[in-house]
Chains A and B, each alone.
Chain A
Amino acid sequence: MRERLVYLRDVSYRYPDSKTQTLQNINFDGYRDEIVLLIGPSGCGKSTLARIFNGLIPNFYGGQLQGEIDIAGYDPRKTPTAKFAKTVGFVFQNPENQLFFNTVERELAFGLENLGVPPAEIRKKIDEALREYGIEELRQRSPFELSSGQQQKVALASVMIMQPQILILDEPTANLDPLSALKMIGLIAKKTREHRMLTILIEHRLEIALQFATRVVVMNEGQIIADGPPLETVLKTDYIVGAPPMVQLSKKLQSSGFPVNIDKLVPEAMALEIIRKLSKGGLDERKRREDNRDR
């Protein structure tokens, strides 16, 4: 029985001073142990939706939020943002704007200080976090001196140290090079599994992120237009979200009568499938020729 952590029914939202609805007819259930990849063109409302999950909407932004909403037992219309912090962690796009202090240590401590955790326990949790994320040597360093990859790692650790059940990430790799981005999303996936969270990741680079998703939700113009298994959902909406090259390749092979199973969305796995098919085909072909000869 899967544990549901997020429940949205018929949710709609309009920013203050806006004449149009930014979100409409949103129905979404989020479960523990899921990595949901939330994608869609710029302006589709995904960042807005993400901010409902930790109460920034409507508390920080105002506006009109309607519908049934349950985020781990809380309703953002009745609960201030700060109260969500213990349960929902949010990692933003720009590391510069979410690292506030001159040492990594203080950055890690900040969230726990806000929650009123006793200093001795904070100290223990910081030691653990530094070890867990392999950033022990960065303890006294200023975040400003770090590379963007390291900065985002610190940002993630500062949020995870509060032990949230739900983790939201809004384009966390936008400023990172491909290898750092891959490592970052890999780390996020690993932590989601270890801590059994619900993770909702907004990310444009499908060729990097798709392989880690357990589910893909596609939005367009304020509505959810697709929600399902990664490959199937991306194929269905590739005219909007763009399919990564290996998915395009599989589509072409399929339409020529040579479907290749790519459940694991990693190029090497697809290659293995192709090799298997070609070897098997070769085997079948040899057998056929042998059979013909014997006849």
Chain B
Amino acid sequence: MSESEEKIIEIDNVYYEYPEGIQALRGVTNYVLRGEIVAIMGENGAGKTTLIKHFNGLLKPTRGRIKVKDKDTRKTSVAELSRIVGIVFQNPDHQLFAETVFDEVAFPLRNFGFPEDVIENRVKWALNILELYQYCDKSPFMLSVGERKRLAIASVLAYDPEVIVLDEPTAGQDYLQKEKISEIIKLLKLMGKTIVLVTHDVEFVTMYVQRIIVMSQGKIIAEGPPHRVLTDYNVIRRGNLLPPQLVRISRALYGKSLLDRYDYLSVEDLSREIISKMREANGGTSSI
């Protein structure tokens, strides 16, 4: 297996049952390749968050096993696994507690035993990247909702895990905040990070994600590149998702034989096709 195909996370027939008896994962087998951007999608309760909690050992499988960089998660501590897999949970308010933004980002670094001078450099670097440097000495609670979200990401980025998992990064975010998050993901990719996104935002996912895993009721029901998964209406229905708007339009046009395919995910591509068809239909003139 070449370097670019290294499986950094291996999921081997994993079952998970909550203490109250709920079967959240029912035989999940998959992997995450180093350097890829993967999205895990599906309805609420499908098992997405349960699955990612296995990646850093917060949950251990009741059956089957998970290996992170060849370490069995059942035999490794959460702290050790978190060093490799950094999870940014959905609600940053569940973890903020420090007096200053600096301390908030330094917290994991201190837990992992980094020397203080390295900590200072890393924290400042992470805050810079997330455009939060000016808040260094401020209280985290003074920050706006979007800024607190970026702070949570900075806090994980600072200790440089190889895999970054984002749990619903765009939930409740406005348009400008989503754009910022897209930028951050692009940047993480450039830095060579492996990124796992748990989301049900079909429009957001079409842009950077290389592979989508769709879950429903504790199982994986589909997997593949966006243009295949998001055009499979059967999968979309079972995952309680909506097809992207452009796919819906393309599908209708394809149904009338006006397009050869319906896996259009970008406005540029689809508009180009439609405009050229419109020009044809008008014998070259540009208006009707």
| In the complex, A touching B (Cβ < 8 A) | yes
Contact of A256 among B44, B249, B252, B275 (CB under 8 A): B275
Q: A253 at interface (Cβ–Cβ under 8 A)?
A: yes
CB distance from A245 to the nearest CB of B (A): 4
In the bound complex, do residue A275 and residue B172 qualify as a contact, i.e. CB atoms below 8 Å apart?
no
Cβ–Cβ < 8 Å partners of B251 in chain A:
271
Cβ–Cβ < 8 Å partners of A282 in chain B:
281
Contact of A274 among B175, B253, B287 (CB under 8 A): B253
Q: A147 at interface (Cβ–Cβ under 8 A)?
A: yes
In the complex, chain A residues 257-295 whose Cβ is within 8 Å of any chain B Cβ: 257-258, 267-268, 270-272, 274-275, 277-278, 280-282, 284-285, 288-289
In the complex, chain B residues 146-177 whose Cβ is within 8 Å of any chain A Cβ: 146, 171-177
In the bound complex, do residue B281 and residue A285 qualify as a contact, i.e. CB atoms below 8 Å apart?
yes
Size category of the A interface is 35 or more
Contact of B287 among A41, A174, A257 (CB under 8 A): A257
Cβ–Cβ < 8 Å partners of B252 in chain A:
267-268, 271-272, 275
Cβ–Cβ < 8 Å partners of A249 in chain B:
246, 249, 267, 270-271, 274
In the bound complex, do residue A179 and residue B244 qualify as a contact, i.e. CB atoms below 8 Å apart?
no
Q: A6 at interface (Cβ–Cβ under 8 A)?
A: no
Q: Which of B145, B173, B174, B256 has the most CB of A within 10 A?
A: B174
CB distance from B205 to the nearest CB of A (A): 11
Cβ–Cβ < 8 Å partners of A242 in chain B:
174-176, 178-179
In the bound complex, do residue A147 and residue B249 qualify as a contact, i.e. CB atoms below 8 Å apart?
no
Cβ–Cβ < 8 Å partners of A244 in chain B:
203, 245
In the bound complex, do residue B249 and residue A270 qualify as a contact, i.e. CB atoms below 8 Å apart?
yes
Cβ–Cβ < 8 Å partners of B253 in chain A:
271, 274-275
In the bound complex, do residue A278 and residue B242 qualify as a contact, i.e. CB atoms below 8 Å apart?
no
In the bound complex, do residue A204 and residue B172 qualify as a contact, i.e. CB atoms below 8 Å apart?
yes
In the complex, chain A residues 206-224 whose Cβ is within 8 Å of any chain B Cβ: 207-208
Cβ–Cβ < 8 Å partners of A174 in chain B:
171-172
Q: A177 at interface (Cβ–Cβ under 8 A)?
A: yes
Q: A75 at interface (Cβ–Cβ under 8 A)?
A: no
In the bound complex, do residue B278 and residue A204 qualify as a contact, i.e. CB atoms below 8 Å apart?
no
In the bound complex, do residue A245 and residue B174 qualify as a contact, i.e. CB atoms below 8 Å apart?
no
Q: A246 at interface (Cβ–Cβ under 8 A)?
A: yes
Cβ–Cβ < 8 Å partners of B246 in chain A:
245-246, 249, 267
Distance between Cα atoms of A249 and B269 in the complex (Å): 10
Cβ–Cβ < 8 Å partners of A178 in chain B:
200-202, 240-242
CB distance from A142 to the nearest CB of B (A): 13
Interface of A is mostly: helix
In the bound complex, do residue A274 and residue B249 qualify as a contact, i.e. CB atoms below 8 Å apart?
yes
In the bound complex, do residue B245 and residue A147 qualify as a contact, i.e. CB atoms below 8 Å apart?
no
Cβ–Cβ < 8 Å partners of A42 in chain B:
144-146, 173-174, 177
Chain B count of residues within 8 A CB distance of the other chain: 47
Q: A252 at interface (Cβ–Cβ under 8 A)?
A: yes
Contact of A180 among B44, B258, B271, B286 (CB under 8 A): B44
Q: A176 at interface (Cβ–Cβ under 8 A)?
A: yes
Cβ–Cβ < 8 Å partners of A248 in chain B:
267
Q: A182 at interface (Cβ–Cβ under 8 A)?
A: yes
Distance between Cα atoms of A270 and B267 in the complex (Å): 14
The closest CB in chain A to the CB of B179 belongs to A242
CB distance from A217 to the nearest CB of B (A): 15
Q: B1 at interface (Cβ–Cβ under 8 A)?
A: no
The closest CB in chain B to the CB of A43 belongs to B144
Q: A240 at interface (Cβ–Cβ under 8 A)?
A: yes
Distance between Cα atoms of A240 and B42 in the complex (Å): 29
Distance between Cα atoms of A177 and B268 in the complex (Å): 27
Q: B225 at interface (Cβ–Cβ under 8 A)?
A: no
In the bound complex, do residue A177 and residue B44 qualify as a contact, i.e. CB atoms below 8 Å apart?
yes
Cβ–Cβ < 8 Å partners of A284 in chain B:
281-282, 288
Known contacts A43-B145, A267-B249; 15 further A-B pairs (Cβ under 8 A): A43-B144, A178-B242, A180-B240, A204-B175, A244-B245, A245-B267, A249-B267, A252-B267, A252-B275, A267-B252, A272-B252, A274-B258, A277-B278, A284-B281, A284-B288
| Chain B contact residues, CB within 8 Å of chain A | 42-45, 144-146, 171-179, 200-203, 240-242, 244-246, 248-249, 251-253, 256, 258, 267-268, 270-271, 274-275, 277-278, 281-283, 286-288
| Chain A contact residues, CB within 8 Å of chain B | 40-43, 93, 147-149, 171, 174-180, 182, 204, 207-208, 240-242, 244-246, 248-249, 252-253, 256-258, 267-268, 270-272, 274-275, 277-278, 280-282, 284-285, 288-289
Q: Which 10 A-B pairs have the closest CB atoms?
A: A242-B175, A281-B281, A271-B252, A267-B248, A257-B286, A252-B271, A178-B242, A245-B245, A179-B240, A174-B172
